[in-house]
Structure 1
Amino acid sequence: MKSGKRPWTFYVLGGLFVLYVAALYGPMICIYILSFQDVRGGLVFPMKGFSLHWFDDLFSQVRTGDVKGSFQRSIMLALLVTLVTVIVSFMAGMGFRQRFRGDGFVFYLMIGSLVAPGLVLSIGTGLLFQFSGVPTHWATSGLGAQLSFTLPFGVLVMFAVMSRFDRSWEEAARDLGASARQTTWMIVVPILTPGLVAVALFGFTLSYDEFARTLQTAGPLNTLPLEIWSMTLNVTSPSLYALGTVTTLLSFAIIAGSLYSIAAIQKRRARRATFR
């Protein structure tokens, strides 16, 4: 260390990290590359030509199934899950700021669904709807099954955000004559907006690619993960790779948009603080 040389453990850990990154992203990169083959292309290397043929074939619904419809259903379901998750998580964060009788039981009841396997919850929800005589549907039973997964994450994130919230800001607003509703919408919500964006990102991404909890609750119409699973049974073309490329780009775009919105909010707050 005194001679300026790094210890041998640095190179070992660096090599392990490179192998980890290669194992994690290597298969994804191969899929992205193979999705841009021309009509002669197959599922393996070497790559034959370059075109957008398989992306056009993906949405033509000739061999690949109802990709467009399943994509729309997944987006709509993810938006519903996001909306409910943000609202309930915010209300839970506000409600748990003060201790009340049975708060520990309610808390563990909320996060208890994280322990149960997703497929078991999916089967149980499907059986419950069947026993009740209500047909399963992605907007009802599918929504409930996915909320059992997204709500605990949203509540935990909101608890972490609320732990750093300074209640003196609320007291100052009330001293200036603001009502409880005005204090919530004009003080609490703007301050917690980055945390709410994080909760929304959790809800959307977890719902968008959820498979196990939707398998027995989506009803007769597939969501996108279920459609991809069914495609693996009957589609043997790079169209499946093209679908993986499209969904990955969409996921990265959503994550980038969320991070940009959080950064923009923080920058605007810093600018306002400087002017004051």
Structure 2
Amino acid sequence: MREGRSASFYWLAAFFVAFVLFLYGPMIAIVLLSFQGPTGGMTFPMNGVSLHWFGKLWSGGGIVDIKSAFSRSLQLGLVVMALTVVLSTLAGLAFRKKFFGQNLLFYVTVASLIVPSIVTSLGIALQFRIFDDAIKAYAPAFISDEWTTGMGLFSSALGAHLTWTLPFGLLIMFAIFNRFDGRFEEAARDLGATPWQTFRHVVLPIILPSLVGVGLFGFTLSWDEIARSSQTIGEKNTLPLELQALTTTVTTPEIYALGTVTTGVSFLVIGIALASILLLRARQAKQGSDAGKGML
């Protein structure tokens, strides 16, 4: 005989459903309202269904220059992603061996996860203001009359975003190399491989699916970052800052269309990353199977 489910199961199931709705309900509402008709408002009920607000958003004559803001965020996210992958990999390899100041470097790296984001951005902004004053005072010949500050997308903002993404990348690399079988490297060295060949042909293919995850962290954390960007971005805003600035002044569903676009990009990147991981693992499994058949 099959016993029926207890009452606690249904209470927990209801709690789980309520929790999921609490997390994703606002996002679902924004996505639905972004498809309002041309005469639709900011709340339910919907007045028709159309792509009117998406068209107005991309036309360039709406509440924000979506193309420029989107381009800036995309460029910054891609650069942060690449640097996070490269620097995290190099740091993970370096931390496999003992060196002087190892613990201090680790604590300094992960400290930015503890320090409030706004404090980190204010500190970086203060450093660049000091740098600007020093340039104007001691090296005026190296700057033009139109130059105002060294703060910008790929200077202060890039550094601020890396203080957020690198600790995550480093912790992931620690987890990867803690379960990495060093016998693969020993076998490669016994066969005469150089350190670079060992990394290129042995280590990298094994850790590559995990590096895709590190890149995913780097891009998505940069793409959605507001606090660290707010004080360090310079004269032009990224897309999340534009979106934040519009939340108190916008009066049309265009802002919902903008939120849907930014959310869609995040989900697209996550989907590409997961598909890449699955393909790489399938390729590794096939290569391992082919190698086993070759030995037989």
Q: Fold match, TM over 0.5?
A: yes
The DSSP-based 3-state class of the residue aligned with 2:41 is coil
| Residues 203-256 of structure 1: CA deviation (Å, up to 9, x unaligned) | 000000000000011111110111101222332110110011111111111101
Partner of 2:219: 204
Within 2, Cα distance between the matches of 1:192 and 1:9? Answer: 42
| Residues 39-70 of structure 1: CA deviation (Å, up to 9, x unaligned) | 10000011011111100111223231221101
Contact 1:66 1:227 in 2 (8 A): no
Partner of 1:239: 254
Partner of 1:83: 82
The DSSP-based 3-state class of the residue aligned with 1:264 is helix
Q: Give the unaligned 5+ runs of structure 2.
A: 133-148, 292-296
Taking the TM superposition and a 5 Å limit, the aligned residue runs for 1:61-100 are: 61-100=60-99
Counterpart AA for 2:62: R
Q: Return 192-201 or 4-13, whichever deviates more.
A: 4-13
Partner of 1:261: 276
The DSSP-based 3-state class of the residue aligned with 2:242 is helix
| Residues 163-185 of structure 1: CA deviation (Å, up to 9, x unaligned) | 11111111111111111111111
How far 1:100 sits from its partner (Å)?
A: 2.4
The DSSP-based 3-state class of the residue aligned with 2:247 is helix
Within 1, Cα distance between the matches of 2:126 and 2:62? Answer: 32
Equivalent in 181, 184, 188 of residue 203 of structure 2:
188
Matched, 1:51 2:50: yes
How far 1:146 sits from its partner (Å)?
A: 0.7
Within 2, Cα distance between the matches of 1:102 and 1:219? Answer: 34
Question: What's the C-alpha RMSD, in Å, of the aligned pairs?
Answer: 1.2
The DSSP-based 3-state class of the residue aligned with 1:40 is coil
Contact 1:198 1:258 in 2 (8 A): yes
Quote the sequence identity (%): 48
Taking the TM superposition and a 5 Å limit, the aligned residue runs for 1:151-230 are: 151-230=166-245
Contact 1:63 1:235 in 2 (8 A): no
How far 1:147 sits from its partner (Å)?
A: 0.5
Within 2, Cα distance between the matches of 1:126 and 1:173? Answer: 47
The DSSP-based 3-state class of the residue aligned with 2:162 is helix
The DSSP-based 3-state class of the residue aligned with 1:233 is coil
Within 1, Cα distance between the matches of 2:2 and 2:31? Answer: 45
Within 2, Cα distance between the matches of 1:231 and 1:61? Answer: 15
Partner of 1:60: 59
Matched, 1:141 2:156: yes
Within 2, Cα distance between the matches of 1:17 and 1:188? Answer: 41
Counterpart AA for 1:60: S
Regions of 4+ moved over 6 Å: none
Q: Return 27-36 or 209-218, whichever deviates more.
A: 27-36
How far 1:8 sits from its partner (Å)?
A: 2.2
Q: How many residues align?
A: 275
How far 1:3 sits from its partner (Å)?
A: 5.7
Partner of 1:25: 24
Within 1, Cα distance between the matches of 2:222 and 2:43? Answer: 31
How far 1:271 sits from its partner (Å)?
A: 1.3
Q: Give the unaligned 5+ runs of structure 1.
A: none
| Residues 7-42 of structure 1: CA deviation (Å, up to 9, x unaligned) | 222111111101001111111111111111111000
Within 2, Cα distance between the matches of 1:201 and 1:151? Answer: 12
Contact 1:118 1:213 in 2 (8 A): yes
